[in-house]
Amino acid sequence: MSRRIVLLRHGRTAWNAERRIQGQLDVELDAVGVEQAQAVAPLVAALDPVLVWSSDLARARLTAETVAKEAGLEPSYDERLREFRLGDYQGLTHAELDARDPAAFARFQRGEWDDIPGAETTREVADRFAAAVTDLAAALGPGETGVAVSHGAATRSGLVAFLGWPAELAHDLRALGNCARVVLEQRSTGTWAIAAYNL
E-only strand ranges, the chain: 4-9, 49-54, 76-77, 145-150, 181-186, 192-196
Of 65, 70, 83, 120, which one is the catalytic site residue? Answer: 83
Please spell the DSSP secondary structure of 63-93, one letter per residue: HHHHHHHHHT---EE-GGGPPPPBGGGTT-B
β-strands 181-186, 4-9: how paired? antiparallel
Helices 31-45 and 58-71 sit at what angle, rounded to 10 degrees?
A: 40
Q: Catalytic site residue 10?
A: yes
The yes-or-no answer on residue 83 being catalytic is yes
Residues 67, 55: contact at Cβ < 8 Å?
no
Q: Which of 10, 65, 120, 151 is catalytic?
A: 10
Sign of CA dihedral 66, 70, 76, 80: negative
> Which residue numbers are catalytic?
10, 83
